[in-house]
Amino acid sequence: MLYQSRQAVFLVIVLCAFSIGSVDGLVWAQGSSVQTGGDAGAGSSQALQHRTIFMPRDVEIEQVSQSPQVPNVLDADSREALGIPPQLLEDDQNWTDSGDDCVDCDAIVPLISHKQGDAGVTWLPGTGDELGIFSINLSETIEIPRFEGFSVTPYFGVHYLDGPIQTDLPARVYDTSVAFRWFKKHNEKWSYELEVAPGVYSDFKNVTSDSLRITGKGLAYYVHSRSKQFVMGVVYLDRENIQMLPAAGMIMWFSEGSRLELIFPKPKFTYRIEKTEELERWAYVAGEFGGGSWGIRRGATGIDDIATYSDLRLIGGLETKHTGGMISKLEVGFVFNRKLEYKSDIGNYDISPTGMMRYQLTF
């Protein structure tokens, strides 16, 4: 576990150094030019005008596509609370005043409402003893309007396993969970988030206490300035190899179109490459901690056990945001430090590095 922690820290340092080096000069120059441009920049961008600290969903929703069973460090609401480029704010307007007139607001309050749906596929190629994984995931997030900041997200995922020959993994394992999340904006500086997600992670042959797990997170967000925000808290994985990870770091906006997230366990640098009236395209590089634990029944012996797979990932991606609210992501990556471990310690082994392709759709 100590070795894995060192590998994760090393990945964060390398990615952050690469991200900072790649934008040194160009990005800072853009940031300076926008700051000096002031009102002219704001006036030329009609599609991205000032809003309250929570931006409209059809403009700024961004869902992190993260590895199975690792809760997202930053999701849509937290990004809306933290992700305001300083160039999009006009000094003569109030952050907290949306300007919308509400007439008879509480006349009809729905019990539940659709917030967003997510669907994705991930492929890690592998044959023989080099474990290959093809994953499909689906989720639907619904809001409870009568309880401000509260949402529920049912999640289902299936992982088709290709190999390995030298050990007796099942052909498929499944993720099923329901996440209950509460997000609270305390004031203009502080926001808080709590999430708990009980679930069953199993091959559906070993459905015992081994396959019942509870994941979650507790995070606090602090707006230091219009170009710098901080995140602190923990992400609870409830896995056999790692129970909990710290979630801490900062977000830096260099300009309206570039952002660096120095956040463990998923650092990320994002740069906008195209903007029209219909869509925006962003390119990014990111680091990621992947894997999961599942209760399984060993094929050769028929004995119940727990299999834990873990890896580290270096990812490059292209994200397209449409004005109607739909977001698509295409990612490719390099997956290394791959390990397969059993609770019984029978059949543990290290897996060779491989590639990764992932497509994620948010609607």
What is the domain-level CATH number for residue 258? Answer: 2.40.160.40
**Amino acid letter for position 300:** A
Residue 358 burial by Cβ neighbours in a 10 Å radius (0-12, 13-18, 19+): buried
The highest-confidence range among 68-72, 81-85, 154-158, by mean pLDDT, is: 154-158
Residue 148 included in any domain: yes
Q: What percent of the chain has pLDDT over 90?
A: 40
- Residue 199 or residue 2, greater confidence: 199
Q: Measure the CA–CA gap between 231 and 246, rounded to whole angstroms.
A: 10
Residue 193 included in any domain: yes
What digits encode the pLDDT tens for the residues 301-325? 788 999 999 999 999 999 999 988 8
Domain that holds residue 237: 2-90+110-362
Residue 282 burial by Cβ neighbours in a 10 Å radius (0-12, 13-18, 19+): buried
Residue 155 included in any domain: yes
Tokens for 314?
A: 């270096």
- Residues of 283-298 as b/e, b for ≥16 C-beta within 10 angstroms? ebbbbbbbbbbbbbbb
Residue 238 pLDDT > 60, yes or no? yes
Q: Which residues contact 102 (CB under 8 A, 6 or more apart)?
A: none
Residue 229 included in any domain: yes
- Residues of 68-93 as b/e, b for ≥16 C-beta within 10 angstroms? bbbbbbbbbbbbbbbbbbebbeeeee
Residue 21 pLDDT > 70, yes or no? no
Residue 101 included in any domain: no
Tokens for 40?
A: 């002219």
- Residue 179 or residue 32, greater confidence: 179
SS3 content of the chain, % helix, strand, coil (to 5): 15, 50, 35
Residue 157 included in any domain: yes
Residue 105 included in any domain: no
Residue 218 included in any domain: yes
Residue 37 pLDDT > 60, yes or no? no
Per the structure, the count of domains in the chain is: 1
pLDDT-wise least confident of 196-200, 234-238, 317-321: 234-238
176-181, long-range: CB < 8 A, 24+ apart = 176/200, 176/201, 177/201, 177/215, 178/152, 178/153, 178/154, 179/71, 179/152, 179/153, 179/155, 179/216, 180/150, 180/151, 180/152, 181/150, 181/151, 181/152, 181/153
Closest CA relative to residue 28, chosen from 227, 317, 179 = 227
Q: Measure the CA–CA gap between 9 and 265, rounded to whole angstroms.
A: 9
What digits encode the pLDDT tens for the residues 47-61? 333 333 333 333 333
Q: Which residues contact 133 (CB under 8 A, 6 or more apart)?
A: 122, 123, 124, 126, 159, 160, 161, 162, 309
Q: What is the pLDDT of residue 302?
A: 81
Q: Where are the beta strands (DSSP E) in 277-303?
A: 279-297
φ, ψ (nearest 5 deg) of residue 36? -75, -30
Q: Measure the CA–CA gap between 7 and 338, rounded to whole angstroms.
A: 11
Q: Measure the CA–CA gap between 7 and 2, rounded to whole angstroms.
A: 9
What digits encode the pLDDT tens for the residues 315-352? 999 999 998 889 999 999 999 999 999 999 988 989 99
pLDDT-wise least confident of 62-76, 197-211, 255-269: 62-76
Rounded to an integer, the average pLDDT of 14-39 is: 41
Q: What is the pLDDT of residue 186?
A: 86
**Amino acid letter for position 223:** V
